[in-house]
């Protein structure tokens, strides 16, 4: 997974799947690109789109499962995500850490 911001302010998030990491051209990807809505009312996006490229149609299912899981993780309490994915006990650290 990779996230970045383009020079025009477009936010990009891509999820990749490779059956054989040595052969990148046969990999698959799912990408969400969006422009933030400054109003922050309703949808946080002013413009949004999803693009994908798959080497195997079964990869579509896997890529969307990963996206669904990541959305679920974003809904967890921050302390739970820090503990599971970072091994950090947030009760002993401040938020900036």
Average pLDDT for consecutive 10-residue bins of the chain (97 residues)?
88 84 75 77 74 85 88 83 80 56
- Residue 15 domain-assigned (yes or no): yes
The whole-angstrom separation of Cα 53 and Cα 16 is 10
What's the domain range around 84? 2-92
Q: What is the pLDDT of residue 40?
A: 59
- Residue 41 domain-assigned (yes or no): yes
- Residue 47 domain-assigned (yes or no): yes
Q: What is the pLDDT of residue 59?
A: 85
- Shortest CA distance to 33 belongs to which of 72, 3, 62? 3
Q: What is the pLDDT of residue 39?
A: 61
Instruction: Provide the number of structural domains found in the chain.
Output: 1
- Residue 14 domain-assigned (yes or no): yes
- Residue 20 domain-assigned (yes or no): yes
- Answer whether 34's CB lies under 8 Å from 22's CB: no
Q: What is the pLDDT of residue 57?
A: 83
Torsion sign, CA atoms 15, 19, 25, 27: negative
- Residue 56 domain-assigned (yes or no): yes
Q: What is the pLDDT of residue 80?
A: 85
């Amino acid at each position: 997974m990779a996230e970045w911001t383009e020079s025009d302010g477009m936010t990009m998030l891509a999820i990749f799947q490779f059956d054989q990491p040595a052969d990148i051209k046969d990999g698959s990807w799912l990408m969400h690109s969006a422009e933030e809505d400054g109003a922050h009312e309703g949808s946080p996006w002013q413009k949004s789109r999803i693009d994908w490229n798959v080497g195997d149609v079964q990869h579509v299912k896997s890529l969307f499962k990963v996206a669904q899981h990541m959305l679920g993780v974003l809904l967890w309490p921050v302390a739970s995500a820090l503990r599971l994915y970072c091994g950090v006990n947030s009760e002993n650290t401040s938020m900036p850490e």
